[in-house]
Amino acid sequence: MATITIVGAGVMASALSVPLADNGHTVRLVGTHLDDHIIDSLQSSGMHPVLELSLPAAVEPFHFADAAHAFEGTDVVMNGTNSFGVEWIGNTIGQYFQPGMKFLSITKGMRADDDGTLYTIPQALKRMMQPEDVQKVTWSAIVGPSIAGELAVRHQTCVVFCGEDNDSLQYLADLFRTDYYHIWTSTDFVGYEVGAAFKNVYAFAMGLARGLLKHEGKEHDKYVMFNYEAAVFAQAQTELRQWVEFLGGNPTLADGLGGVGDMFVTSMGGRNVRAATYVGSGMPFSEVVNGPMKGITLEGVAAIQVVGKALERLTERGIVNASSFPLCRHLYNVVVHDGPFAMPWDLFYQTIE
């Protein structure tokens, strides 16, 4: 049996404690400074107030003030913070690493230099940490279509564990595998992490059609806009493949769990899709984030902001053609510049002969 310490008590990090506990492992769930209310609830009743579910009794909740104790004897450290906590975790977690530990990340997103050079979250974390701490652990991540609540109630879920070291991947997969949590492994670390980050960019686009229906007063009509959504999804998948290849991964992986599968489940709902619905209904994005979505974390929007700005820099440098990634550019214009919402259909499907 292993000891796994998870940093971050959000819904996905907490849900991942379930298969680990079912397999008999010791699981320590350490809340960040923003998770005190979750840890308080777990310590008093075992109930996760956001998931609205009780976690297994084997899951031990800790406030971050007790992190040093939580890391004692740990075999695997998991980063369960969202993308907004990357800088915090990068400047905090390394002090707890010990030689031989495994580091497993579930955070999705991208970071970029001023010149547009893009980095996956594990790459960005390594740049923030002391080199000696980076070398103490092996680096891996979880990607794929996984809604936290479904996993927490043990619905069938299929994911990919990706990383630099195959032996570590097999070890980690064996810790988590159950009859409901199915795991494949891959050493295409960059490719899968790029796919996982960019699916958040494109899932935002899927909410626009629902907003259009509301704008036209047709949200209850028999005929909706599946044609529209399918066309946007097809262009999103085209660009997802191109991003994976551009950033050094195998583009075919975008056709599987870590690409189109993950993009599909993310586009089915959630906060980013809801924000896009407001935009589709005619509300400028600046009004959305200062009105109905004020104070709500929007990871897909954050990814659009990072990637869109980087895309501008890469285009200026002549590294990316100005006609490439038209959907990504359109979403950036809508989100950052309050640009008009009108799909640039004539720029899509340029790879189709």
Reading the block at residue 154, the tokens are 């043990």
Q: The dihedral of CA 45, 50, 51, 55: what is its sign?
A: negative
Taking alpha carbons only, the member of 266, 328, 268 closest to residue 299 is 266
Q: Token pair for residue 334?
A: 């809508």
In angstroms, rounded to a whole number, what is the distance separating the alpha carbons of residues 333 and 141?
A: 31
Compute CA 80 distance to the chain's CA centroid, rounded to the nearest angstrom.
10
Note the maximum CA span of the chain: 62
- Residue 343 is predicted with a pLDDT of 92
For residue 67, give Cα distances in angstroms to 77, 119, 189, 305.
Answer: 12, 28, 28, 32
Assigned token pair, 217: 């007063």
Domains defined along the chain, listed by start: 3-187 (3.40.50.720), 198-347 (1.10.1040.10)
pLDDT at 216: 78
pTM for the full predicted model: 0.93
pLDDT by 10s per residue, the chain, length 353: 999 999 999 999 999 999 999 999 999 999 998 899 999 999 999 999 999 999 999 999 999 999 999 999 999 999 999 888 889 988 899 999 999 999 999 999 999 999 999 999 999 999 999 999 999 999 999 999 999 999 999 999 999 999 999 999 999 999 999 999 999 999 999 999 999 999 989 988 988 888 888 877 777 888 888 999 999 999 999 999 999 999 999 999 999 999 999 999 999 888 888 999 999 888 999 999 899 988 888 888 999 999 999 999 999 999 999 999 999 999 999 999 998 888 999 999 986 43
pLDDT of residue 174: 98
pLDDT of residue 352: 45
**Is residue 312 a contact partner of residue 116, using CB atoms and an 8 Å limit?**
yes
If one counts every other C-beta atom within 10 angstroms of the C-beta of residue 270, the result is 18
pLDDT computed for residue 319 by the predictor: 96
The DSSP bridge partners found for residue 66 are none
